[in-house]
Amino acid sequence: MKQFFLPVTSVLLRIRHLILPSAALLLSIGFVSYQTVNKLPKGDPDNGGLFMPDGFEAVVVADSVGPARHLAINKNGDIYVKLRSVVPQGGSVALRDTDNNGKADIIQNFGNYEDPAKYGTAMRIYNDYLYFSTGGVVFRNKLTPGKLIPESESEVILTDDYKNKVHGSEHIAKPITFDNDGHMYVPFGAPGDVCQFKNRLPGEPGQDPCPQLEEHGGLWQFDANKPGQLQSDGKRYATGLRSIVAMDWNHSDNTLYALQHGRDSFVRTWPEFYNSWQSAVLPSEEFLRVKEGSDSGWPYYYYDQMQGKKLLNPEYGGDGKKQGKGAEYEQPIIGFPGHWAPNDLHFYQGDQFPARYKNGAFIAFHGSTIRAPYPQAGYFVAFVPFKNGSPSGPWEVFADGFAKVDTIINTADAKARPMGIAMGPDGSLYISDSVKGKIWRIMYKGDRNKFGKAQLALMEKRKLRSNIKTPDIVKDNMEKKLMAAGEKAYQLYCGACHQGDGKGDGSRFPPLAGSPTVIGDKKKLIEVVMNGLSGPLTVNGVEYNGVMPAHNFLKNEEVAQILTYIRMSFGNKANSVGVGEVNKVRTAQ
């Protein structure tokens, strides 16, 4: 894409036939509008790969700006995207569409700040300032009317001294939102899973009371306009929140809402109480109405969306059934299935979409990583209709198809993962992707007065897809399917040398059972299959000197199946290998 600025005089020539009092007013305050509110661009023929309700169209604004987190849209349509970490060109990206065809023709990186945590997240516009964050700092820049890149120096609003804290911080993302009274809200995530002395150690009890709650596991309120603040300058607004990335101030009821990431793998740490299926779908990702002084129960409790209760965590005496005092804590307004990773929340205030979307909540589910042996889930944008500050109906699938694969075995298989949500000045909805940095603009082109159940019917059926439905405990166990396919391919291509039992032939071809190469780094193992191996090799104290030819003729799916099989067979207990991981190695060669 072209990397240039269109001079203001050229733009004025383009819009000379539109010089009306309203346009003159924009020019008088220094803004040049690049968006024509009454004329939406065409959607892409395939809607950028997305599936949406009838009447909606999507256009890909930019294809690869870098691993994107949150984004914000200025009043003139300029787009600002926060990257996960700072690259040599800068840690933020600005985009402009000068001819209103829906495609950004100016894309520029900016921002020379540092981000040692490599966890930049926030990007919001508030009172004509661009606020953004790294893992430990919230900055802001004054936006210059008519200029794409801020001309002001970055101003530090808040610093989190996480490096010198007693507990550190594992969930260090710093999303932000603002209320109507000049306050900024920032989460300080839990430094571990469930407040243990030794994090994620199987059978390790939780600390009670939890000392981490003094500086972590909650939301803090700050002055949005005061530079140089520390955490101690704010006040703890709410507690008992393990990890918050998605949050927004709902201006229709003047209330803060957030979605909590639930804790990690139950089956690994408490196999006596939870099986692999329960570990895949629990605990719930909680959609919470966050009131001042509220306590949502972390680390003592989690929410089970199937039982509809807050239950006692096993680190505190729970067993998957005990409720304890769970009912006394803040309950979610919706309990979404586990590990969908809600990473942005936006309450829609525009008028472009049908009226039912007004004041409703859009949620970007970034997608799971730890649902194996069941399909990974999430990877879509949901919508929750709201009325008078409460959901007025069940949640819906609004946009799906980001991953481009039907069954996501490993997270790396997903081609895109929805991350950020923002609304443009004309009511279009923008979605960012964290894999390569694709940006979509979603528009409504249908009849607003005739939108209803018929237009939503196909989206309701998408709830049956593997990335959204609750998996069947037997039929959807991907490990069994992968193992069956992998065993067949292994016997065909590998069994003659390494033997059917994986023990090798004792002289030329090494055993796969207990082999550090097999159960170790997946990238190196994939490279062995792709490139072959020759020369001396010592496995379990025995030296082998055979030759393994390159097997790069195998399809990515076959390589993934074989390697999953050998990593989980012959006494090996390593995790699976995904098609995306194989493809990444193949394309890098």
Residue 114 lies in a domain: no
Does the residue 341 lie in any domain?
Answer: yes
Type and span of the H or E element at 563: helix 556-568
Helix or strand holding residue 230 (H, E): strand 229-230
411 and 523 belong to one structural domain: no
Same domain, 451 and 487: no
pLDDT at 9: 33
Same domain, 363 and 404: yes
Picking from 438, 464, 490, the residue at the C-terminal end of a domain is: 464
Choosing from 435, 464, 493, the residue where a domain stops is 464
Structural domain includes residue 107: no
Q: What pLDDT tens digit does each residue of the chain (589 aa) get? A: 333 333 333 333 333 333 334 433 333 333 333 444 458 999 999 999 999 999 999 999 999 999 999 999 999 999 999 999 888 889 999 999 999 999 999 999 999 888 888 889 999 999 999 999 999 999 999 999 999 999 999 999 999 988 778 777 789 999 999 999 999 999 999 999 999 999 999 999 999 999 999 999 999 999 999 999 999 999 999 999 999 999 999 999 999 999 999 999 899 899 999 999 999 999 999 999 999 999 999 999 999 999 999 999 999 999 999 999 999 999 999 999 999 999 999 999 999 999 999 999 999 999 999 998 899 999 999 999 999 889 999 999 999 999 999 899 889 899 999 999 999 999 999 999 999 999 999 999 999 999 999 999 999 999 999 999 999 998 999 888 778 898 999 999 998 889 989 988 777 788 999 999 999 999 999 999 999 988 778 888 888 877 888 999 999 989 999 999 999 999 998 888 888 889 889 989 8
Q: What percent of the chain is helix, strand and coil (3-state, nearest 5)?
A: 20, 25, 50
The pLDDT, as a whole number, for residue 263 is 96
User: Is 23 inside any structural domain?
Assistant: no
Question: Tell me, what's the pLDDT at 85?
Answer: 87
Is residue 27 a part of any domain in this protein? no
- 489 and 436, same structural domain? no
Domain boundary among the residues 464, 493, 517 is at 464
Res 13: pLDDT: 33
Are 291 and 255 contacting, i.e. CB atoms less than 8 angstroms apart?
Answer: yes
* Owning domain of residue 339: 33-100+133-163+173-196+208-464
Exposure string of 213-226, with b = 16+ CB inside 10 Å and e = fewer, is bebbbbbbbbebee
Domain shared by 457 and 501, yes or no: no
Considering the domain architecture, whether residues 336 and 433 belong to the same structural domain is answered as yes
- State phi, psi for 567 to the nearest 5 degrees: -75, -15
CA distance 91 to 111: 5
Is the domain of 86 the same as that of 64? yes
Q: Are residues 385 and 485 in the same domain?
A: no
3-state secondary structure of 377: coil
SS3 318: coil
Domain assignment present for residue 519? The answer is yes
Into how many domains does the chain fold?
2
Do 514 and 386 have their domain in common? no
Does residue 113 form part of some domain? no
Q: In the prediction, which pLDDT does 38 show?
A: 54
| Residue 183 and residue 314 share a domain | yes
Tell which residue, 246, 263, 295, 303, has the closest CA to residue 70.
Answer: 246
What DSSP line would sit under 24-85, residue for residue? HHHHHTT------TT-PPPPPTTGGG-B--TTEEEEEEES-SSSEEEEEE-TTS-EEEEEEE
Same-domain check for residues 261 and 308: yes
- Output the domain CATH number for residue 485: 1.10.760.10
Whether residue 275 lies inside any domain: the answer is yes
Query: CATH number of the domain that 325 lies in?
Result: 2.120.10.30
Q: How many residues make up the chain in this entry? A: 589
SS (H, E, C) 276-292: HHHHHHCCCEEEEEECC
Instruction: Please check whether residue 173 is in contact with residue 162, taking contact to mean a CB–CB distance below 8 angstroms.
Output: no
* Shared-domain flag, residues 95 and 241: yes
